[in-house]
Structure 1
Amino acid sequence: MTSIFNPTDFPKPTLVPVNGVELEVFEAGRENAGKPIVLCHGWPEHAFSWRHQMPALAAAGYHVIAPNQRGYGNSSRPAEVTDYDIEHLSGDLVALLDHYGYEDAAFVGHDWGAFVVWGLALLHPNRVNKVINLSLPYQERGEKPWIESMEDALGGDFYFVHFNRRPGVADAVFEENTFQFLRNMYRKNGPPAEPQPGMALIDLARAETPLGEPVMSDSELAVFVSAFASSGFTGTINWYRNLDRNWRLLADVNPVIQQPTLMIYGDRDAVSRSENLTEFVPNVEVVGLDCGHWIQQEKPEDTNQVISKWLKQQDAT
């Protein structure tokens, strides 16, 4: 069953100046000042993807801070591609803590948000007291830049590679088909598909018939569609266009994350589990939920229970 959420129940945002940009920030549990938890969305998402978690975390005593990260929603969308590298994205989160007067916080990331939270914990370890990441495990740096490695292994049509090698092409297709793309993207329990030639996400944006079941109601989907119709996709895809730059920026950083960490996988997610997670994240607990990629939206109650239980255990130690 799809959990229905009335979009009018979502908190009203404020625009917060940070790190040379403005972020559109949604909050819950302000009365719990002093116990911050920051929720970092993925792609192509929005802070609204945390709608089921925000009230639960506020009820558990947290000051919940959910920004639309740069490029998304009504947050700033700088023109330079390099303004979306891991230094800028993690710098935004550090400046957000400074804005609220917090030394450190628990950080929760899904998908690309998880990549940013991993990077934040590497670049600014003293600002992160706990890590909770969904879907995307820690990415080992390896000997070759990430996009180069993907191009060698998966070819030029793989979407990460395509975004980098053919800038602007996918952006335009997504913008022409914003509703269709997001409707087709936010699905679960789809039939197994044979790999097809061509760029899969461009084909998805052009597909008239969605596969599987919707992850959310029409009114919830409308929040995402409206946000991307206004912002476009280029700023958000620029995150992908910095992967090799990020690989270089992380060259001299200690690669081991020491913070207590919770890693939540979707058992039916296309994103692979890490085979050597404890090598880089020694203090990790791993949980799998019976769902696909959109973990916290597909299984909101289960996600809330896992996160709340883990946080309670951490707070007790």
Structure 2
Amino acid sequence: MIEMPPLQFAETNGIRMGFYEAGPKTDAPPVVLCHGWPELAFSWRHQIKALAEAGIRVIAPDQRGYGATDRPEPVEAYDMEHLTGDLVGLLDHLKIDKAIFVGHDWGGFVVWQMPLRHPSRVAGVVGVNTPHWDRAPMDPIALFRQRFGDQMYIVQFQDPAREPDRIFGSRVEQTFDAFMRKPAPRPADAPPEQPIAGVGASARLNLAFPQMIANYDAKHDPRTPI
């Protein structure tokens, strides 16, 4: 297991943010690694080690609501203004002028907003599996609901009555066992898929939650654990 650097904390944008830092402090812009869901800064442990050994200063925060960082209750506390403001406050705490922001998954949506909202603090942006999109033509939740139905996990999480936290609390090991595996390969005799693009474009993706987890059995999973 690769060890993480010591956990540090910064007071930023009204919250206490936990973060990890490694590599030399130079005049070059550091790299800020922003994780996705359901992840933590720990997801970047291999990249933190590699970048630091390459002589690059690297910073990996637990984003708002995750891990060692504060978890405000209001939904409105998680809009892009707050999420990008957290990163600006982290730079201020570390007395950093500009940084290169790398975002994976939902972290990618955050870092693509950085040059739009805080251009003077951005030296570059890297999106890992999350491209920059134009503003959706309709409410994103309505789009997901129309494309995948009410059981799609993002749609389901909008309804407090469904107690989304209980989904994870009841089957933590099974949930993360399903997430943390490489994608299953398509069968050789599967019909070819036409090129597609856009949010939720593929009808073959099973994004229903918790049905996806409830029907998952690790004994029959052909994928290799990551």
TM-score, length basis structure 1? 0.61
Residue identity matched to 2:71: R
Matches within 5 A, 1:40-79: 40-79=34-73
Residue matched to 1:203: 211
Which of 61, 76, 79 is 1:85 aligned to?
A: 79
1:60-119 per-residue CA deviation (whole Å, 9 max, x = no partner) reads 322100000011111101111111111111000000011111111000000001000012
Matches within 5 A, 1:224-235: none
C-alpha distance in 2 between matches for 1:189 and 1:144: 30
Aligned residues of 2:156 and 2:162 also touching (Cα < 8 A) = no
The alpha carbon displacement at 1:153 in A equals 2.8
The alpha carbon displacement at 1:157 in A equals 2.0
Bigger drift between 53-62 and 15-24 goes to 53-62
Change (3 A) 1:61 1:185: same
Residue matched to 1:213: 223
Residue matched to 2:197: none
Residue identity matched to 1:96: L
SS at match of 1:23: strand
Matches within 5 A, 1:53-202: 53-165=47-159, 168-190=162-184, 192=186, 200-202=208-210
Aligned residues of 2:148 and 2:208 also touching (Cα < 8 A) = no
**Percent of matched pairs sharing the same residue:** 40
Bigger drift between 73-82 and 154-163 goes to 154-163
Aligned residues of 2:24 and 2:55 also touching (Cα < 8 A) = no
C-alpha distance in 2 between matches for 1:196 and 1:53: 29
Aligned residues of 1:104 and 1:126 also touching (Cα < 8 A) = yes
Aligned residues of 1:39 and 1:107 also touching (Cα < 8 A) = yes
C-alpha distance in 1 between matches for 2:63 and 2:223: 28
Change (3 A) 1:58 1:196: closer
Aligned residues of 1:35 and 1:105 also touching (Cα < 8 A) = yes
Q: Flag structure 1 segments of 5+ consecutive residues without an equivalent.
A: 1-5, 217-317
Residue identity matched to 1:42: G
Q: Flag structure 2 segments of 5+ consecutive residues without an equivalent.
A: 188-202
Change (3 A) 1:146 1:215: same
Change (3 A) 1:167 1:98: farther
RMSD: 2.3
The alpha carbon displacement at 1:32 in A equals 3.8
SS at match of 1:172: helix
TM-score, length basis structure 2? 0.83
Aligned residues of 1:105 and 1:130 also touching (Cα < 8 A) = yes
Residue identity matched to 1:202: P
The alpha carbon displacement at 1:152 in A equals 2.5
Aligned residues of 2:35 and 2:104 also touching (Cα < 8 A) = yes
Residue identity matched to 1:209: D
Decide which structure has greater helix share.
1
Q: Which has the higher contact order (CA 8 A, sep 6+)?
A: 1
Aligned residues of 1:43 and 1:111 also touching (Cα < 8 A) = yes
C-alpha distance in 1 between matches for 2:159 and 2:97: 39
C-alpha distance in 1 between matches for 2:204 and 2:160: 21
